[in-house]
Structure 1
Amino acid sequence: MADEAPTGGTPTRFTIRPDDYHVPYAGTAQDGRKFFLSDELFAYDGRAWVGLFLWKPDGVFDEVRVSRIARGVGVPPGQATPGNGDGTLQAHLALLGAYTLEPITVQPFTETVDGAEFGWKVNHCDGMYTINIEPGDFICYYEPWDGYEYDT
């Protein structure tokens, strides 16, 4: 994509593609904003959230909305799994109005909410950039930033 980082450079945009694994909800909301929604966000201290990440139609970060939920019983501390939100995920989906599931190209960002860092964090290690979801760090995108593959 035109606004993505040149090969080897700091990523300024990346693509999130909906799938049947960790990215069931990514696309465009009725109001034109881009969104990513997950009920698998967790901290290693046992806290868990449903998180709705929103970007303006041009992919610039707009806001984060989170709701605390119960973490799955017996789930190892570093493993992502849907939390027990008793309809919280559906309530966040309802905020989107009529939405379309589709690939979105957006800016990475982080914002602290409820004492935890939320967003898509750019990391650099051993000469390689990655973009990881926070909290939980269970999705990791890498070059070419097209969203076709990610590590978990």
Structure 2
Amino acid sequence: MNSSPPKLVAIDHDDYHAEHIGRTPAGHQFFLTLPFEPAIAGRIGGEFVALYLFDQQGVLIEAKIDSLGPRASLDHEARKSLYEQRLKELGDVSFERIEIAPFSVDRFDTTFGLVLREPDDDDDVWAVEVQPGNYMAFFEPWDSGEYDT
């Protein structure tokens, strides 16, 4: 297949995984999300709150990632409180479509971000996956704003 990696990926605001995306009063783009690391292959797994800030061109400028510990002992109220705190810190935001560049950051021995996945073979295509957890995946056309779960 003829596929190429994106420079930017569009994400449309919705009521699901892209509920808290948009712009800050300063014009930065943001993505507030709840990544997770599954408990597989001897790993305990974990829950996180991640706030990604991007400049107006979609380049990552900051990643605030908080670990909430293992999924099995998750304090749901603490997660909700921290999530709401991160959203409040942004100020009077507008929820809207964002266009951001793929990126990755390593924290807690885990890769976070909108991570490029290269094709495995000639029949495969480029993808961008929200990691950890791979709970959002983007494919061409990169400006569609849609994702698979």
TM bucket (normalised to shorter chain) is 0.7 to 0.9
**Equivalent residue for 1:151?**
148
Greater share of helix: 2
Contact 1:27/1:104 (CA < 8 Å) preserved in 2?
Answer: yes
**2:83 counterpart of 1:104:** no
Mapped to 2, the partners of 1:50 and 1:32 lie a distance apart of: 22
**Equivalent residue for 2:136?**
139
Deviations 1:23-66 (A, max 9, x none): 11110012211011012x11123211010011112211111101
Looking at CA atoms only, which structure, 1 or 2, has the larger radius of gyration? 2
Contact 1:48/1:83 (CA < 8 Å) preserved in 2?
Answer: no
TM-score computed with the length of structure 2 as normaliser: 0.83
Give ranges in structure 1 of 5+ residues lacking alignment.
1-6, 75-81
Map 1:1-152; keep pairs closer than 5 Å. Answer: 8-39=3-34, 41-44=35-38, 45-69=44-68, 85-125=79-119, 126=121, 127-152=124-149
**Equivalent residue for 1:4?**
none
Contact 2:55/2:61 (CA < 8 Å) preserved in 1?
Answer: yes
Mapped to 2, the partners of 1:83 and 1:133 lie a distance apart of: 24
Mapped to 2, the partners of 1:132 and 1:13 lie a distance apart of: 13
Contact 1:70/1:83 (CA < 8 Å) preserved in 2?
Answer: no
Aligned CA distance change for structure 1 residues 86 and 104 (closer, same or farther; 3 Å): closer
Letter in 2 for 1:100: S
Shift of 1:73: 5.3
Three-state SS of the structure 1 residue aligned to 2:65 is strand
Three-state SS of the structure 2 residue aligned to 1:128 is coil
Three-state SS of the structure 2 residue aligned to 1:58 is coil
How many residues get paired?
Answer: 139
Letter in 1 for 2:127: T
Give ranges in structure 2 of 5+ residues lacking alignment.
39-43
Higher mean C-alpha displacement, 142-151 vs 127-136:
142-151
Return the structure number with greater relative CO, CA threshold 8 A, min gap 6: 2
Deviations 1:86-128 (A, max 9, x none): 4011110012111010001110000001221110001122340
